[in-house]
Chain A
Amino acid sequence: MILQHVAPVVSNTLIAEGIFLLTVEAKDIARSVRPGQFVNVRSTDGSLPFLRRPFSVSNTRGDLIDLMFNVVGQGTRMMASRRIGDTLDVLGPLGKPFGFAGNFKTAIMVGGGLGVAPFPILTRQLEEEKKSLLTLLGARSAKHIVAKDLQNTQIATDDGSAGFHGTVVALLESSLQSKALADPKIFGCGPTPMLKALSEFAQRSGIECELSLEGDMACGVGLCQGCPVETSHGSRKYALVCVEGPTFNCHDIILR
């Protein structure tokens, strides 16, 4: 059930370069959200920016939800300036959660940039399901890494300032080469070019893979048809990211 909360801000902290963790109290969303789902946030009390902004739910604790975001533009700048006692208008939980289908034993979470955002809540659920975990994070540099509430984490940076020097998908390839994992399944989240590379790698290696997409949205709830992603089979050319995603099995979509 989708809910609209005017949620009190409980904390808002800078946790890495340009990256904030914003915690709000939104009881009904916190109690019902599943890993991979998102909320659509009204970042202003005025009229700009005009549309809501989608953010993955990063974690929950009781009645609280955490959002982890990168300051990239006007909306996220306004979110960064929210203080304790302010409110945030959130709509959610939205979208389809990550799928747990298949008899996998090891979950490999692969995040590019703020693609790490949904991994804390996903980690919790995977632990409950007694899966082995491997978390691979890619970031521009050491200053952009957020590795809180994760398990068995390896890092890749574009500039080599921490961990593996290269992309997170290259890190995945090299770690699977050095050590094969029992019945793996990949959970990927990040910018489209990274997801495309990850999807190609997963299909080449025959590993099951779920992806969480980013993209433009106007409504986030299926009203506008504004968020298409190309499907790879079936009678429809496009699926809607906001209601049929944001998580998809990599076999079902074509990324460009």
Chain B
Amino acid sequence: MIKESFTLRGVEFKNRVLVASGTFGYGNEVKELVDVNKLGGICTKSLSWKPRDGNPPRRIVETPSGMLNSIGLANVGVEYFIREKLPYLRTLDTVIIANIAASSIQEYCDVLSLLEQQEGIDGYEINVSCPNVKEGGLSFGTDCSKTREITARLRTLTAKPLIMKLTPNVTHISEFARAVEEAGADAISVINTVIGMAVDIYKKKPKLSTVTGGLSGPAIKPIALAKVYEAAQVVSLPIIGIGGIMTAEDALEFLLVGATAVQVGTANFIDPSAGVKVAEGMRSYAQRFGVSDLGQLVGAMESNKEFSVLQSWL
């Protein structure tokens, strides 16, 4: 028997693979196709206080080994979520993480407080890193003191796992990791999408309605790995690695550089069972190489820190 599980503030995840916010809807869209109970957890689409229409089309552009999106946090709003989506999520035998996005600190607090009163939510992931909205999103996530303040405020409101989702669009993600650890976060999710753009040379216009968008998929995996590695050098809280994971091999790279768990995002669009397959593949790897607990792989990469350029500014 291989130990695949891990715990975060008393919540047990049956394995180390979650599905990423915004890439798995509210969990019920593909229930016929995927045995979601085989996932370690589900992060909901970002929830805001009021429903959000999202950005005008075009919202999606395929790019080399990935895609740009500019969804703009289109979501049903927290009240509708509680009424229409949560009852289904409650029936599942997997960890449910409510992802929250907001345009003010008060809104983060209001959404979380309302969710606190509900049954069926195991923890929170706080999106301070959406690149596709004018207010909130990145303007919080690139401001270290605001990120710290949001974390500290939310910490006073919940005893459940509080996960801060960080953006790679900063110079030193390690500073943000340190700030949220000090402010009481239980874990960090690294990374949200990377700002990118694409241009239609015939129309001489940006392909996305919002000019820039968020890049995801295998194209960002090397960036994500470096960010997880960087954060892992300075904090001791668990890191959830995200970015371009398509296979178990990808996920194992994240564990080795220091991630306790991973999230599978864009891969769900190509194969909604991608997360389940990644978890199965990690189990096979453990079997094959005699790893009795996947936790043994976390941060187990051997590296010569002497040559690491990172060290000079950590």
Residues of A that sit less than 8 Å from B by CB: 1-4, 42, 47-52, 91, 215-219, 221-230, 236-238, 243
Interface residues of B in 25-70 (CB under 8 A from A): 25, 29-30, 32-33, 45, 51, 53-54, 56-67, 69
Main secondary structure of the interface of B (DSSP, over half): loop
Interface residue from A50, A216, A219, A227 paired with B268 (Cβ < 8 Å): A219
What are the 3 closest A-B residue pairs judged by CB atoms, nearest first? A226-B60, A237-B53, A219-B269
Interface residue from B24, B270, B273 paired with A51 (Cβ < 8 Å): B270
What's the least CB distance linking A132 to chain B, in Å? Answer: 36
Tell me whether A216 and B61 are in contact (CB under 8 A).
Answer: yes
What's the least CB distance linking A218 to chain B, in Å? Answer: 5
Query: B59 — which chain A residues lie within 8 A by C-beta?
Result: 216, 225-228
Interface size on B, residues (CB 8 A): 38
Known: A2-B30, A2-B32, A224-B60. A47 touches B65 (CB 8 A): yes
Tell me whether A223 and B272 are in contact (CB under 8 A).
Answer: yes
Tell me whether B22 and A224 are in contact (CB under 8 A).
Answer: yes
14 sample A-B contacts, Cβ–Cβ < 8 Å, listed by A number: A1-B32, A47-B218, A51-B270, A52-B269, A218-B67, A218-B269, A223-B23, A223-B25, A223-B29, A227-B59, A228-B56, A228-B59, A236-B53, A238-B53
Known: A221-B29, A225-B45. A50 touches B62 (CB 8 A): yes
What's the least CB distance linking A240 to chain B, in Å? Answer: 9
With both beta carbons as reference points, the residue of chain A lying nearest to B24 in the complex is identified as: A223
Bound: A91/B30 CA distance, A: 11
**B74 interface contact, C-beta 8 A:** yes
Tell me whether B32 and A226 are in contact (CB under 8 A).
Answer: no
Query: A47 — which chain B residues lie within 8 A by C-beta?
Result: 65, 218, 246
Per-residue CB contact flags for chain B residues 264-281 toward chain A (1 = under 8 Å, else 0) read 001011111100000000
Query: B271 — which chain A residues lie within 8 A by C-beta?
Result: 4
Bound: A230/B23 CA distance, A: 22
Bound: A48/B270 CA distance, A: 12
Query: A224 — which chain B residues lie within 8 A by C-beta?
Result: 22-23, 60, 69, 71, 269
Interface residue from B65, B66, B71, B268 paired with A226 (Cβ < 8 Å): B71
With both beta carbons as reference points, the residue of chain A lying nearest to B268 in the complex is identified as: A223
Interface residues of B in 228-286 (CB under 8 A from A): 246, 266, 268-273
**B217 interface contact, C-beta 8 A:** yes
What's the least CB distance linking A255 to chain B, in Å? Answer: 11
With both beta carbons as reference points, the residue of chain A lying nearest to B61 in the complex is identified as: A216
With both beta carbons as reference points, the residue of chain A lying nearest to B25 in the complex is identified as: A223
Tell me whether B62 and A229 are in contact (CB under 8 A).
Answer: no
What's the least CB distance linking B74 to chain A, in Å? Answer: 4
What's the least CB distance linking A163 to chain B, in Å? Answer: 29
Tell me whether B71 and A215 are in contact (CB under 8 A).
Answer: no
Bound: A230/B58 CA distance, A: 12
Tell me whether A223 and B269 are in contact (CB under 8 A).
Answer: yes
Interface residue from A49, A52, A219, A228 paired with B74 (Cβ < 8 Å): A228
Between A223, A230, A236, the greatest number of chain B beta carbons within 10 A of the residue's beta carbon is seen for A223
Known: A223-B29, A224-B60, A226-B69. A50 touches B74 (CB 8 A): no
Bound: A217/B58 CA distance, A: 10
Query: A236 — which chain B residues lie within 8 A by C-beta?
Result: 51, 53
Query: A229 — which chain B residues lie within 8 A by C-beta?
Result: 57
Query: A217 — which chain B residues lie within 8 A by C-beta?
Result: 60
What's the least CB distance linking B308 to chain A, in Å? Answer: 30
What's the least CB distance linking A2 to chain B, in Å? Answer: 5
Query: A49 — which chain B residues lie within 8 A by C-beta?
Result: 62
What's the least CB distance linking B215 to chain A, in Å? Answer: 12
With both beta carbons as reference points, the residue of chain A lying nearest to B71 in the complex is identified as: A225
What's the least CB distance linking A256 to chain B, in Å? Answer: 8
Bound: A229/B54 CA distance, A: 11
Query: A91 — which chain B residues lie within 8 A by C-beta?
Result: 33
Query: B218 — which chain A residues lie within 8 A by C-beta?
Result: 47, 50
Tell me whether A50 and B23 are in contact (CB under 8 A).
Answer: no
Query: B30 — which chain A residues lie within 8 A by C-beta?
Result: 2, 221, 223
Query: B67 — which chain A residues lie within 8 A by C-beta?
Result: 50-51, 218
Tell me whether B60 and A218 are in contact (CB under 8 A).
Answer: yes
Tell me whether B269 and A51 are in contact (CB under 8 A).
Answer: yes
Query: A221 — which chain B residues lie within 8 A by C-beta?
Result: 29-30, 33, 272
Bound: A219/B33 CA distance, A: 13
Bound: A2/B29 CA distance, A: 10
Tell me whether A50 and B66 are in contact (CB under 8 A).
Answer: yes
With both beta carbons as reference points, the residue of chain A lying nearest to B57 in the complex is identified as: A228
Query: B32 — which chain A residues lie within 8 A by C-beta?
Result: 1-3
With both beta carbons as reference points, the residue of chain A lying nearest to B70 in the complex is identified as: A226
Query: B53 — which chain A residues lie within 8 A by C-beta?
Result: 236-238
